[in-house]
Amino acid sequence: MPASTTRPVAIKIDEDIRMRVKRLADARQRTPHWLMREAITQYVEREEKRETFRQDTLKAWEAYRTTGLHLTGEEADAWLARLEQGNDAEPPECHV
């Protein structure tokens, strides 16, 4: 796997945020650069997961609208209760 290429990018932040980043970086014994890269990385990863969840939700809704297959809340609760008790329970069959 080839190493990823890094390129400098400039961002504009106000003086207050810059100083807060500097203080936090000093407290963590890191550079402000490292802290900002880490923050951006965590943000992007979190938002990618949220977007994946959103897309999965839209697909599930469309599948329901197309097929009508579903579980009732009671059926889902009963299955989850069995799982909470430590039982290896298969999910109930969806129905119309």
Q: What is the pLDDT of residues 16-69, one digit of tens each?
A: 999 999 999 999 999 999 999 999 999 999 999 999 999 999 999 999 999 999
Higher model confidence: residue 26 or residue 3? 26
pLDDT of the residue at 37: 97
SS3 content of the chain, % helix, strand, coil (to 5): 65, 0, 35
What distance in Å separates the CA atoms of residue 27 and residue 30, rounded to the nearest whole number?
A: 8
User: Is 78 a residue whose pLDDT tops 70?
Assistant: yes
HSE (side-chain half, CA atoms, 13 Å) at 15: 0
User: Is 12 a residue whose pLDDT tops 90?
Assistant: yes
User: Is 9 a residue whose pLDDT tops 70?
Assistant: yes
pTM, whole model, 2 decimals?
Answer: 0.77
